[in-house]
Structure 1
Amino acid sequence: MDNRLMPSYLSGADGIRAIACLAVVFHHLTQRLTMDLQTPFVQQSQAFFLLGNAGVSVFFVLSGFLLALPFWKSYLGNGGFPNMKHYVFRRAVRIVPGFYVAFIVSILLAYFWQVQTDYHWLRIITGFTFTSGFHYTTLFPSELNGPLWSISFEVFSYLLLPIFMLGLFYLVKIRTFSKALLYWFGVIVFILIINQGVHSFFTPNEVERGWEFGLIGGAKYWMPNYNPVGFFGQFAIGIIASAVTVNLFTKTERVQRFKQKGGFDVISTLSLLCTLVFIFQMRHIGEFTVSFQSQPYYFPIFPILVASALCTAPHSRWFGKMLDNSLFRFTAKVSFGIYIWHYLVILSVERYWQPDFVYMGLADFNTWLGVSFVVLIISYGVATLSFYFVEKPVLDWAQNKERSLPKQEESKVRKEA
């Protein structure tokens, strides 16, 4: 394909990222409201927002979608395999600085607040090396900052993406969209087979297995339904959605006619609405009930619905622009910071201001609403500071370094000549 047909910015992605980020925050906030003491309407709304943890699945689908784009553009455009040094470098500078700072602060707060932490050093080591997701004792690298658990899973998916893409480039020589799609469906089947093996051989025993035994007991309950191999299946759905998007840009005339008629707007809108309706319908159903292999977040139905909205939004006339409004674009920009900092904000508010702001602890709805609003504002503030003083300086340095590399290589070639 002609890469000039692909815009540098795909509309809708920022909006979906923002929704996913806020969904996770609302999930943790609504956990603090005593459900039994609320009106029926509030109870039903709370049950819906408690499923905001499914935003984690959206992050995985979105990451697979965006990170696979350069691979698909090169593959379908008969280009070479993308530069892995650049790939690894870009992933590292995007994830490591913000995560390390939040992780270090979490460790220090646990020390100052004298929070008992089992497997303390093992969790620290696996946290810093992004390997915490391979055992329930380390799944939560921080006793205070629970949301950090997913970062290890993401990094594992980052590693698997180029490995399987390498197989596509060198095994599927005839580069067609249909053959590439068939290959990736095969990858998902392979992942599901391996995941079944994980369930068969690595299911923990029932001793102290459950959230009543703390984070490690909760992790033991989650696993192996939560495991890095299974989560790559959600990531891979995003990869396939990425292929669909790139392929649509090659069908210029047909795509443009369908776009002008608002076809993509209809698909994107219905996909997002179906996603929300589906989550609402699941609000009273067990976490691992409606899913294949007992995977979390209603796999594969939920991630497929998200992927449908994601891969068609870039071709829409107004849906993508509506999603990418100013608030959502800013939220998307600082979303990583919101994700890795908001839980520490919640715990700080509980410790220093509102001691009843614990799991199902606040009975008064108006008080909960006010405290939650303060938490949200502070989380945005901390995330903004994280972005501009931790993440962005490293990203800017990385961009400057990447720009200088071709010049350095050219200068080296001239000297050798």
Structure 2
Amino acid sequence: MENKLYPSYLSGADGIRAIACLAVIFHHLTQRLSMHDQTTVIQESQAFLLVGNAGVSVFFVLSGFLLSLPFWKRYLGDGQFPEMGQYVFRRAARIVPGFYVAFMISTLLAFLWQIPTDYQLIRILTGLTFTSGFHYNTLFPSEINGPLWSISFEVFCYLLMPIFMLGLFFLGKRRSFRKAITYWVGVVLFIVCLNQLIHLFLTPDNIQRGWEYGLIGGAKYWMPNYNPIGFFGQFAFGIIASAITIKLFLESKAIEVFKRKGGFDVISFIGLAVSFYFLWHMRHLGDFSFSLQNQPYYFPIYPILVAVTLSTVPHSLWFGKLLDNRVLRFTAKVSFGLYIWHYLVITVVERFWVTDYYYMGLADFNSWLLVSSVILVTSYVVATLSFYLVEKPVLDWSHRKRFPGRRIQDLPGVRKEA
């Protein structure tokens, strides 16, 4: 195998992360605009922005794509299984500090504001241990910061990925790209079957099941369509996309002509464009009945479209650079903070400034636009403070810490990072 360099930075990934983050934020902002009071053009635009919650799917696909890269480098480079101590430590360093600060402040504010919170103690405990996603009573660990629900699901995927990867590494002595892809397609099918069993045996009863019963009722309504096992299927598409990306780097000579002619630009652009068109087409559906097993975010079509874009955009000539412009790269840098803080900003605004900034509550579009702009700017400020004061110091420290074992750069056949 040729000893060439993997790029130290995969173009396009930051831009896609930023778009996903902004899509989720605008989903929550447009929920506050009274749709029936708007013009047809605004209504159609609002309907499209409301399906921006599919950005959560992008996060899962993207996480699977990026976190599996070291595993694929070692597997396809005939290397050893990665050092799991370093993997777990750095994942914890990335997630725990920012999440804990946002979660504890949200919990404290809910207490100070005397907001009724059922099952408060168990929700705090499961929130702190990232196990809240296994029951509807705890799915939303915070009563006033709803988006924190997905962090538990993502942490669960962080744990499942190396377990399945371990099976691949020890599946026979001969390694091949075809075997690896077949294995991971099998994993996806296994997850789908397991998810079906969850639907058969773990579907909640209909007692107080619905958003009219608050967050717990809403969580009960979501489940079992929303469950950590099912979400790993979306994560797995990112893992498969990552394998394709690494394979394309290894076959760089064979694809060089295709790359020079902009072939990967065309594929990645079409993948992203079709994903937007698909969401536009779904904007009036109102549920996930189009999805396999009613899984969220139009599984498997939408995650596959995202995976197609992710697997090809690092090989593009111009499209990746276009996505990774300064604004989107900065947004990607603070995206975790944006995600975990923006809804709390919305809650504060609704409570202390614009009291009709609730679900479908604000009738005047100009007022909504002004308030939403203030929320967006404030969220960026809070997220930037979170990154530089909380997240980055821990991340820098974690990357300075050394773990025993051979580095990926030292393994035979694996190209050194630039």
Normalised by the shorter chain, which TM-score bucket? Answer: over 0.9
| Corresponding residue of 1:411 | none
Q: Are 1:65 and 2:103 an aligned pair?
A: no
- What CA distance in whole angstroms lies between the structure 1 residues aligned with 2:354 and 2:285? 31
Q: Which amino acid aligns with 1:143?
A: E
SS in 2 for 1:355: coil
| Corresponding residue of 2:286 | 286
C-alpha displacement of 1:171: 1.1
After superposition, the C-alpha distances for 1:336-384 in whole angstroms (9 at most, x for unaligned) are 0000000000011111111111111110001100100000000000000
After superposition, the C-alpha distances for 1:291-337 in whole angstroms (9 at most, x for unaligned) are 11110000000000011111100000000000000000000000000
Bigger Cα displacement from structure 2, 368-377 vs 167-176: 167-176
C-alpha displacement of 1:55: 0.4
* 1:191-202 matches, cutoff 5 A: 191-202=191-202
SS in 1 for 2:250: coil
| Corresponding residue of 2:263 | 263
| Corresponding residue of 1:35 | 35
| Corresponding residue of 1:228 | 228
Q: Are 1:252 and 2:215 an aligned pair?
A: no
TM-score (norm 2): 0.96
| Corresponding residue of 1:318 | 318
| Corresponding residue of 1:415 | none
Cα distance change, pair 286–361 in 1 and its aligned pair in 2 (3 A) = closer
* RMSD of aligned Cα (Å): 1.3
CA contact (8 A) 1:172 1:180 kept: no
| Corresponding residue of 2:366 | 366
Q: Are 1:131 and 2:140 an aligned pair?
A: no
- Identity among equivalent pairs (%): 69
SS in 2 for 1:249: helix
Bigger Cα displacement from structure 2, 388-397 vs 172-181: 172-181
* 1:316-355 matches, cutoff 5 A: 316-355=316-355
| Corresponding residue of 1:296 | 296
- What CA distance in whole angstroms lies between the structure 2 residues aligned with 1:199 and 1:307? 26
| Corresponding residue of 1:379 | 379
| Corresponding residue of 1:102 | 102
C-alpha displacement of 1:248: 0.2
SS in 2 for 1:5: coil
Q: Are 1:212 and 2:180 an aligned pair?
A: no
Cα distance change, pair 174–146 in 1 and its aligned pair in 2 (3 A) = same
CA contact (8 A) 1:58 1:303 kept: yes
- What CA distance in whole angstroms lies between the structure 1 residues aligned with 2:239 and 2:115? 40
* 1:73-112 matches, cutoff 5 A: 73-112=73-112
After superposition, the C-alpha distances for 1:218-259 in whole angstroms (9 at most, x for unaligned) are 000000000000000000000000000000001112221111
C-alpha displacement of 1:93: 0.1
- What CA distance in whole angstroms lies between the structure 2 residues aligned with 1:75 and 1:199? 34
- What CA distance in whole angstroms lies between the structure 2 residues aligned with 1:44 and 1:238? 30
- What CA distance in whole angstroms lies between the structure 2 residues aligned with 1:252 and 1:347? 50
| Equivalent pairs, count | 407
- What CA distance in whole angstroms lies between the structure 1 residues aligned with 2:263 and 2:287? 34
| Corresponding residue of 2:26 | 26
* 1:156-171 matches, cutoff 5 A: 156-171=156-171
Q: For structure 2, which runs of at least 5 residues remain unmatched after alignment?
A: 407-418
Q: Which amino acid aligns with 1:196?
A: Q
SS in 2 for 1:92: helix
| Corresponding residue of 1:155 | 155
CA contact (8 A) 2:85 2:403 kept: no
C-alpha displacement of 1:158: 0.3
SS in 1 for 2:9: coil
- What CA distance in whole angstroms lies between the structure 2 residues aligned with 1:41 and 1:14? 31
Q: Which amino acid aligns with 2:219?
A: A
Q: For structure 1, which runs of at least 5 residues remain unmatched after alignment?
A: 407-417
Q: RCO greater where, 1 or 2, for CA within 8 Å and sep 6 or more?
A: 2
- What CA distance in whole angstroms lies between the structure 2 residues aligned with 1:235 and 1:404? 28
CA contact (8 A) 1:225 1:295 kept: yes
CA contact (8 A) 1:350 1:356 kept: yes
- What CA distance in whole angstroms lies between the structure 2 residues aligned with 1:401 and 1:246? 27
Q: Which has the higher helix share?
A: 1
C-alpha displacement of 1:400: 1.7
SS in 1 for 2:82: coil
SS in 1 for 2:63: helix
CA contact (8 A) 1:17 1:62 kept: yes
Q: Which amino acid aligns with 1:150?
A: S
- What CA distance in whole angstroms lies between the structure 1 residues aligned with 2:85 and 2:172? 23
Q: Which amino acid aligns with 2:89?
A: F
Q: Which amino acid aligns with 1:201?
A: F
SS in 2 for 1:288: coil
- What CA distance in whole angstroms lies between the structure 2 residues aligned with 1:344 and 1:3? 49
- What CA distance in whole angstroms lies between the structure 2 residues aligned with 1:403 and 1:136? 38
- What CA distance in whole angstroms lies between the structure 1 residues aligned with 2:295 and 2:287? 9
Q: Which amino acid aligns with 1:332?
A: A
CA contact (8 A) 1:140 1:215 kept: yes
Q: Which amino acid aligns with 2:17?
A: R
SS in 2 for 1:160: helix
- What CA distance in whole angstroms lies between the structure 2 residues aligned with 1:144 and 1:405? 43
- What CA distance in whole angstroms lies between the structure 2 residues aligned with 1:401 and 1:65? 24
Q: Which amino acid aligns with 2:382?
A: V
C-alpha displacement of 1:396: 1.0
Moved over 4 A (4+): 403-406
SS in 2 for 1:11: coil
SS in 1 for 2:225: coil
C-alpha displacement of 1:173: 2.6
CA contact (8 A) 1:2 1:77 kept: no
| Corresponding residue of 2:120 | 120
C-alpha displacement of 1:122: 0.5
Q: Are 1:47 and 2:59 an aligned pair?
A: no
C-alpha displacement of 1:139: 0.3
- What CA distance in whole angstroms lies between the structure 2 residues aligned with 1:52 and 1:168? 34
CA contact (8 A) 1:287 1:297 kept: no
